[in-house]
Structure 1
Amino acid sequence: MLPEYPFATPPAAGATCEVAAGVHWLRMPLPFALNHINLWLLEDDHGWTIVDTGFALDTVKDCWQTILARLSETTRGGHISRIIVTHFHPDHLGLAAWLQEMTGAPIHMTLGEYLTAHAVWHEIGGHGNQPMLRQFRAHGLDGDRCAALERRSGGYNRGVPTLPTDYRRLMAGDELVIGEHRWRVRVGFGHSPEHAALYSQDLGVLISGDMLLPKISTNISVFAVTPMADSLADFLQSIDHYRELPAETLVLPSHGLPFHGIENRVNALHAHHEERLLVLEEQCTSPRSAAELLITLFPRDLDTHQTMFAMGEAIAHLNRLEHAGRLQRLEDDDGLIRFVRKHGAAGSRSAPRPRPGG
């Protein structure tokens, strides 16, 4: 069964739409093929809580200025009591420091997301463009596409021009009281280091961030700093925890429309990734690199931005097959990494290892 969408039309940029008691939906533009992000305003005591902040574009700042001015005219007033950031990606963290400076509101994040944002921004500790390029070259990406990626250096900092220098730490299981409702922090892995989603049993609402999207599959990548990571297993294990939530839960994703149907969506994502794993496995009867397999996973033209995510995702799927014993990693004297199917392993399945969820 497909997800059900109780709100068929998103709010216009600079407008809001109430989707549950005290929960308001905002939509902001993005400068990518995925051209929007959903943000959320929660009615709080004598003010508002912001969940995610948008990419640092002048148009997004203008939208926020319009919304904040409108809030100040309401009976609740325009006070912002806190800013919650689900994870470090620029469409979520991008304007957090700017909003904090304007409103004085504290920023709430998990430790993993806060520290990763600083590492990526400063390109330290194995993060940044050069480690990524070394990783992609090792996985077979050609010189022209690597050069195009190198020209994109600094892309994260353009989306996040300033970083918060203090924050309040979110941990799995934390309970936040926001206005009249309680929200529990649910931490997930695979898409980012320590992604925070928010679930209100009072309202039957899950703010899922990027962990659960209604139509597209969340990007699951392996990064240079953790080259052997089993990110896909981490992700699938994380979303399995959402099966515990009631079937009627309203999911508020960062992209797409709010929806009902958690169980079916989790099942569909498992099926999608297993189908991708089988296709890759079948292609590896002889040694193949991640770059050679891009066309198998993504049979369309990819721009430079999409190539970055596609390479990370291809490596994540190949690592999953290696961890499952279905592929073997080969590395030649020049450091080129390829994968080949193990004899008798075709079509076998291996469940992701247990990983604690939020």
Structure 2
Amino acid sequence: MTSTPDGSVDYPLCATPDPGGWQEVVSGVLWIRLSLPFQLDHINVWALDGGAAGWTLVDCGLGDPRSRAVWKGLLRDALGGRPVERVVATHFHPDHIGAAAWLVERTGAGFATSLTEWLFARTLSAGNDAAADAVVERFYRRCGLDEEVLASLLARKGAYSRGVPAVPATLTRLRAGDRLRVGDRDWTVIGGSGHTAEPVSLHRPADAAGPDLLISGDQILPRISPNISVWPSEPDADPLADYLASLEGWSALPADTLVLPSHGRPFHGLHRRAGDLARHHAERLAEIETLCAEPQTAAAVTRALFPRPLDPQQMLFAVGEAVAHLNHLIGKGRLERLAGRHDGMPAADLYRRPDVTGPA
């Protein structure tokens, strides 16, 4: 994720909840803020009041003991001890789905997300086998990472299951265009892709009781660009193409929609922010294309895009994002990839502009 200017958005709420705290955004919608032990230090959870049926929780934080302890207080205080009807996960990342199984078991709530996100979560929570571990190592060696960085990434084995120790065994499948009934109001499922394969966003149209609301997950954020990464399991994917198409889709919603993001503060300026993010990626693509006038490894591109020191988690995202942009340029015919020579574990691939001639 990269910080981008947020001058195009407006923040209508002056206060921000403390960690573990909450406040009402509009009638029947609570903004809960949970701490995260990462550089991205919080996640927003949205609690939707469904009246007699109970609350709908959108996202839920990590599945670690600290988060569970916070949730015990929230269920009692913020939600007033009332039932939880369902837990919705916008996508499979640990900070969004980690506590879902615990909440479902504790409250008797149902669970809802898209089928793709649920399957990813179930697979990753179960852990990798030796074949999958070998795929991961080959992928990062092809990126040209040095041995120290490579070792730090490979040492993260099992990180997902530590944040997501279990995933609900059943779900209500959400598809783009579905209606989710919360009390006497309908929320429409908005599809998209890029940050993950099939994330869920929720839109509630304006009426006499309140404005247009969009629970955007990580698909659109006010200050940072959502991470768009290629992962070892799908090394030739082009998630950036999917993400750019999703940005265009936000134009179908009213310009004055109040966006409730997973990170940062609620904001106005949906269309302007989508334009900012599209321009950010266009600038990244141009920067990489210029850089690849000389053949480059994915690791070299990563260092150019992210020159600051990175911890292993940040490096994982940074490499994935670099490869996503490289793959997009290959798909557009603006770069070509020269496969490294294979002798056991592969050597690094090189990327260059097609107009570059001579030895790699």
TM-score by length of 2: 0.91
Change over 3 Å in CA distance of 1:205–1:127 after alignment to 2 = farther
Matched, 1:41 2:53: no
Secondary structure class of the residue paired with 2:13: coil
Tell me which residue corresponds to 1:78: 82
- Give, in whole Å, the separation in 2 of the partners of 1:328 and 1:318: 9
> Superposition RMSD on alpha carbons, in Å?
1.7
Tell me which residue corresponds to 2:113: 109
Gaps of 5+ in 2: 1-6
Tell me which residue corresponds to 2:28: 22
- Give, in whole Å, the separation in 2 of the partners of 1:106 and 1:273: 37
Tell me which residue corresponds to 1:57: 64
Matched, 1:232 2:240: yes
Secondary structure class of the residue paired with 2:298: coil
Seq. identity, %: 44
- How much has 1:226 moved relative to structure 2? 1.4
Change over 3 Å in CA distance of 1:172–1:126 after alignment to 2 = farther
- Give, in whole Å, the separation in 2 of the partners of 1:121 and 1:133: 19
- 8 A Cα contact 1:188 1:238, kept in partner: yes
Change over 3 Å in CA distance of 1:85–1:72 after alignment to 2 = closer
Alignment of 1:129-208 (within 5 A): 129-202=133-206, 203-208=211-216
Aligned positions, number: 341
> What whole-Å deviation, never above 9, does each CA across 1:25-73 have from its counterpart, x for those lacking one?
0000111111000001000031211100101233322221111111564
Tell me which residue corresponds to 2:251: 243
Tell me which residue corresponds to 2:318: 310
- 8 A Cα contact 1:8 1:257, kept in partner: no
Which aligned runs of 4 or more in structure 1 are off by greater than 4 angstroms?
Answer: 124-130
- Give, in whole Å, the separation in 2 of the partners of 1:287 and 1:193: 30
Secondary structure class of the residue paired with 2:91: coil
Tell me which residue corresponds to 1:68: 75
TM-score by length of 1: 0.91
- 8 A Cα contact 2:190 2:200, kept in partner: yes
Matched, 1:272 2:280: yes
Tell me which residue corresponds to 1:295: 303
- How much has 1:13 moved relative to structure 2? 2.4
- How much has 1:152 moved relative to structure 2? 1.6
Secondary structure class of the residue paired with 1:118: helix
Secondary structure class of the residue paired with 1:293: helix
> What whole-Å deviation, never above 9, does each CA across 1:241-280 have from its counterpart, x for those lacking one?
1111111100000001100001110110011111111111
Gaps of 5+ in 1: 345-358
- 1:84 counterpart letter in structure 2: V
Matched, 1:3 2:15: no
Secondary structure class of the residue paired with 1:232: helix
